[in-house]
Structure 1
């Protein structure tokens, strides 16, 4: 009978794994760390008296959130330069679909640019924003996790929301419109048309490139356009994908992925480009 109960509990947990992984990924920006947090939640559940849990989904969400909060606090304490943002793992899917479970996980993914901004928030601000604005949890449920009053928790989420909105990381809703801007950018770069690149780039565009050497940030349309022309001369094979819910491109060389790029398009112009070119991290991305 005990084995049957454990098997049933494991099935209940697996039915919620996708949601828990989505929460953890948006909190941590890392697939491997998100999976570790979810696995830790399972270990805590297996050691608990499940019969005493009234709402398993809420209990597990709270546990995963607390694990992620502890991880974020530890990460913040280790960070030598608090202004240096971590570059999140990109969530990539094919334009025309793919694995149904993976598609469900990515359905409400937030852009890399937003994840970068979230990483600049305090751990409590990030948790309040993610749980309330992205997963619609009531503040009354979030407050005990961050050990604040309900009103103070609302203020945490409000500050985070202002940072996100102020950073202009909310892209155009129409994916097809995003793709028009990305295609125009690629065509202009291939043609070496500097003026056409400037027309599709926001004057204050920011490009972030996470390579094996670290994170490099380029600001301004002229600088980004110049780099795009040089990059296109590498003659890499490129194909359109969706990266964290927005238009993106993967580039390959000799059959291996060379880069994954995500474009944030606002009112038809590209305001940020986030590129991962670190070979080790690219190989570790979910297939």
Structure 2
């Protein structure tokens, strides 16, 4: 029986491995091969494998500015979701039924609406004649509309709303494993509310915060719809630039090279955040 059962885990993993190879590895390999090919308007894509596309990206400050803008938007979006989403998840976990379910539905409600619809809603709010500017002007706080559309600030605000549920879910998943008796023990030993939060609750929230940060950063760095709607044509990020290279310039190899570099940046940041988290917990529980 033992000899028969040994290959069973391997056999059960074959379907998942095939899906991983077909839908992830093969498209990535195809994109990598495409990024190494040459392109010209006269001949189109030529099967000449070289690093000319990557050399062009690294030697042109235009691409550097777009990568820097994409990184700024992703970092600030991640910070906003941490500052708002982590405390919100903690408050939701402290609520009693039925209020927890009601407010959890409100917090995760954006996931029930398409990204395009949410981004268009923010475009109506952030516009020069939008509700936010109209409200500020009616209260006498500003004399003229504030430019929020087609700015990095507007993109960060809209992206934070779009991606907030992922931070909340990640932190709530971690808090579900939190033993309430540990917090009670901290209070019984004379620790105040702030000390209990800082020394007991926050360290146990950090795995969820780091997981949420990785998810939010990856999705913000590769987002297309929200930057396209809120940022417009002038405020390009890597995803919108790849879209333009594929559909307008028809320079597929350059678009593939940009996509591969974005993928590499996201992977490096995710691994870096994971290593930082592992080092922190190794020191904390040493």
Structure with more of its chain in helix, by fraction: 2
Q: Which protein, 1 or 2, shows the higher relative CO under an 8 Å CA cutoff with sep ≥ 6? A: 2
Structure with more of its chain in strand, by fraction: 1
Structure 1 or 2, whichever has the larger Rg, is 2
Q: TM-score, normalized by length of structure 2?
A: 0.28
